[in-house]
Amino acid sequence: MFFHRHFARLALLLMVVSAVFGGLLMRWTASGWGSRLGPPEQQQRAELERSIREAQEVVVENYVAETPPDQLTKAAIQGMLRVLDPHSNFFDSKEFQEMRTEQHSRFYGIGVSIARRHDRVYILATIENTPAARAGLRAGDAIIKVDDESATDWTTRQVLEKVRGERGEPVSITVERLGVPKPLTFSIVRDAVPLPSIRTAFMARPGIGYIALSGGFNTTTEDELRRAMNELTAQGMQSLLLDLRGNPGGLLPQAVSVADMFLRRDQKIVAVRGRQGYSGEEAREYRAKNTAPFEKPVVVLIDRNSASASEIVSGALQDHDRALIVGEPSFGKGLVQRVFELPFGAGLTLTTAKYYTPSGRCIQRSYTSGLLYAYYAHQAPEETPTGEAVATDAGRTVYGGGGITPDIIVKPQTFSAVQSRLSDATFAFARHLAAGLVPELVNYRIERTDYRHQLRDSDFPITDKVVAAFREFLKTDARFATLESAVTPNLDFVRNQIRQHLATAAYGTEAGFRVQLMTDPQFLRAIESVPQAVELARRAWLVTETGQRR
């Protein structure tokens, strides 16, 4: 038993050191760090290297089967990094390129949003000015083939992997479309598909602007947000709802720039601290430079998937009493990763520091249990915070050590098992409505997607006649026949789902998202909280004028 454990450790060291440290050691020695090793440490390193060579011979000569070295190496490196923390990571060349691409707000594909529903992977929406939209693909099309390979049993992920590829390369998509007797095949040339930070921006109520900054913090985030705020200000915005829910973070400079839009000059945004003696470029304190910040009331929405850069922004605005925070406690990702480019196109993100809010709160949630599932599943802080209590500029109590705790905690909208099945049924029914196949409701037929249309309350009313037709649809479709009795107790849900699917097909994902927001408890509570944000903004500027913690 001892031999097997010892052998496993040596094999792991072999793969890790040969794959990673071989590349990093040259930099390490060149930088002068290697010269800091004394004779005992140098001897230990020599012994380790000898053990690794011996272990390599054992692996090559005795392992029961041939295993691809790249898979073993990747797994070994990832295992090493997991000992450190959950966010240090290794990327092979393909993954590293994908990460870089996402940071630049684009990838190469055809421009569709897809998901598997009951029997197929369906197109939920096409993105404006992308190859899919120009070719004529529509929301509701069922994907049955990709490049002549049957896709009927594929997962959403499998379809995505097949339709993405190199820019300029063609891909063939075959779909089934309701109302069309034969499958349709489209030859589409892959091109850049935008991945904007801002999902939508509109006036949620008279005087109340709403911006969904949910697409990460990438190279275009600041420009996108500034443009959206200017457009809403021109429409009479007097207060802002900034939605950071689901935003996983991204580039630190962009987070600093976003926070800078709302803070007065020299107010602290975030401090980045590494281990003692660490002098990396990230180890510094960031302060606002803006001489003309946005001074109107702000409500920020966060949830358990708001992480990293999202937490920097929400934490800075909360500490300076510049925004009222509504939603759930955030993820608690306050570790700073530095990107190291490795040979052959691979990359390494290594934690080198931690984020601290202006009041001194550490954003990072505990990961000492070592259980990755529990960490990423976010067995989250309870509604009663347990971290260290600190004070905001105006003296409000906030807590550290577990992400950002909202000022007003609101649980998210959740679907029951029955509602999840009803969602599939409403999607199937909306396909028939959009295709003009529901008798006496042909006026719901959708010929094309009009992305420029601004959704109105009068668009696609879900009348009693539509609900009655939905009930009949359930009775005639064996997949959903048992759901008819669930319609009445879930009537509001059914109405909203049908309208959301129709709005998405007719006007794009932004319109469908707006319909969804109308029943979102966190969004609705944020609107109700605007008067509190008004008072908070007044107090924030008063404290700033009289002198506040920097």
Tell me the helices (H) and strands (E) count for the chain, helix number first. Answer: 17, 21
Backbone angles phi, psi at 515, to 5 degrees: -60, -45
> What's the CA angle centered on 369, arms 367 and 372, to 5 degrees?
70
Buried b (16+ CB within 10 A) or exposed e, 434-468: bbbebeebeebebeebebeeebeeeebebeeebee
327 close to 310: Cβ distance less than 8 angstroms = no
Sign of CA dihedral 477, 483, 487, 490: negative
Contacts of 114 (CB under 8 A, 6+ apart): 121, 122, 123, 124, 143, 156, 159, 160
> In this structure, how many other beta carbons lie within 10 angstroms of the beta carbon of residue 378?
18
Catalytic residue among 239, 257, 308, 359: 308
Residues in the chain, overall count: 550
Q: Show the DSSP H helices in 120-168 as ranges.
A: 131-135, 156-163
Catalytic residue among 319, 321, 393, 407: 319
Category of 181 on φ-ψ map: left (φ > 0), alpha (ψ -120 to 50) or beta:
alpha
Q: Which two tokens stand for residue 264?
A: 């007065």
Task: Examine the residue annotation and report whether 308 is marked as an active-site residue of this protein.
Answer: yes
Choice among 333, 359, 407, 529 that is catalytic:
333
What is the Cα–Cα distance from 9 to 372, expressed in whole angstroms?
A: 21
Look at strands 149-150 and 142-146 and give their pairing.
Answer: antiparallel
Q: Does the active-site annotation cover 51?
A: no
The DSSP bridge partners found for residue 233 are none
Candidates 243, 241, 258, 245; CA nearest to 212 is 243
Three-state SS for 437-465 is CCCCCHHHCCCCCCCCCCCCCCCCCCCHH
Rounded CA gap, 442 and 356, in Å? 57
- For residue 333, indicate whether it is catalytic: yes
Residues noted as catalytic: 308, 319, 333
